[in-house]
């Protein structure tokens, strides 16, 4: 990696904002959390080796996902599969649609997590409990508040989240859609 401050700052920011998204992306291929973490660490190491001040943020993100996909494929090639598994994997994993869908899914998860992190107080507590799969009554019981308070806070929370996420979601949706019709 070049010694440029911009390159180091870009790497730190990408690592903090995209590490979990890349782990999730790898997990869709590997179905193993530990392997996914290892591949993600190797992916970021490869980025660190190559990143310099000339890299744009967009190029670095593309590099992350393409490198992660290639490393996952290497892991899968080295594992033993029966013939049916190999044919199914080839069809699914080599598909550009699958690759784009997974990038979109992981980036949306990242956007939602970043948006939820911007919430405060009860709204943050309610959002985290809802993301853990708890229903309104379970959230009310857990927090010791009325179910109407939960519903009211959720309504406010969803409005705020739509404001925060809205633009990024639209951008991802159109990027994915436009990439598919260009083929």
pLDDT in tens, 150-172: 999 888 887 887 777 766 555 55
Q: Are residues 109 and 159 in the same domain?
A: yes
Residue showing tokens 């392997």? 35
- How many angstroms separate the CA atoms of 81 and 84, rounded? 8
Range with the largest mean pLDDT of 94-98, 127-131, 142-146: 142-146
Q: Are residues 58 and 141 in the same domain?
A: no
CATH for 177? 1.10.10.10
pLDDT at 71 over 80: yes
Q: What is 103-128 written as a DSSP string?
A: HHHHHHHHHHHHHHHT--HHHHHHHH
Q: Are residues 43 and 110 in the same domain?
A: no
pLDDT at 85 over 70: no
How many domains are there within the chain? 2
Q: Are residues 48 and 60 in the same domain?
A: yes
Question: Among 94, 117, 132, which residue terminates a domain?
Answer: 94
Helix, strand or coil, per DSSP, at residue 95: coil
Q: What is the pLDDT of residues 16-69, one digit of tens each?
A: 989 999 999 999 888 899 999 999 999 999 998 887 767 778 888 889 999 999
pLDDT at 93 over 70: no
- How many angstroms separate the CA atoms of 86 and 112, rounded? 34
Residue 43: domain span:
1-94
pLDDT at 92 over 90: no
Q: What is the pLDDT of residues 95-114, one digit of tens each?
A: 666 776 777 777 777 777 77
Please tell me what DSSP assigns to residue 182: T
Looking at residue 45, what is its pLDDT? Answer: 94
Who wins on pLDDT, 148 or 86? 148
Looking at residue 22, what is its pLDDT? Answer: 93
Q: Are residues 12 and 65 in the same domain?
A: yes
Q: Are residues 79 and 161 in the same domain?
A: no
Looking at residue 73, what is its pLDDT? Answer: 84
Q: Are residues 90 and 5 in the same domain?
A: yes
Looking at residue 81, what is its pLDDT? Answer: 59
Question: Among 79, 94, 109, which residue terminates a domain?
Answer: 94
């Amino acid at each position: 990696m070049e010694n440029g401050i911009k390159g180091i700052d870009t790497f730190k920011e990408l690592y903090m904002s995209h590490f979990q998204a890349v782990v999730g992306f790898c997990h869709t291929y590997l179905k193993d959390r530990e392997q996914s973490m290892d591949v993600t660490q190797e992916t970021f190491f490869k980025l660190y080796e190559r990143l310099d001040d000339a890299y744009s943020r967009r190029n670095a993100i593309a590099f992350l996902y393409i490198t992660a996909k290639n490393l996952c494929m290497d892991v899968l090639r080295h594992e033993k599969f029966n013939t049916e598994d190999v044919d199914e994997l080839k069809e699914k994993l080599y598909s550009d649609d699958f690759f784009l869908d997974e990038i979109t899914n992981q980036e949306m998860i990242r956007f939602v997590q970043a948006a939820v992190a911007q919430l405060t107080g009860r709204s943050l507590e309610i959002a985290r409990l809802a993301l853990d799969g708890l229903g309104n009554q379970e959230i009310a019981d857990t927090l010791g508040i009325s179910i109407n308070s939960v519903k009211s806070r959720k309504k406010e929370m969803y409005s705020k989240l739509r404001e925060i996420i809205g633009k990024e979601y639209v951008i991802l949706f159109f990027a994915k859609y436009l990439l598919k019709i260009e083929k």
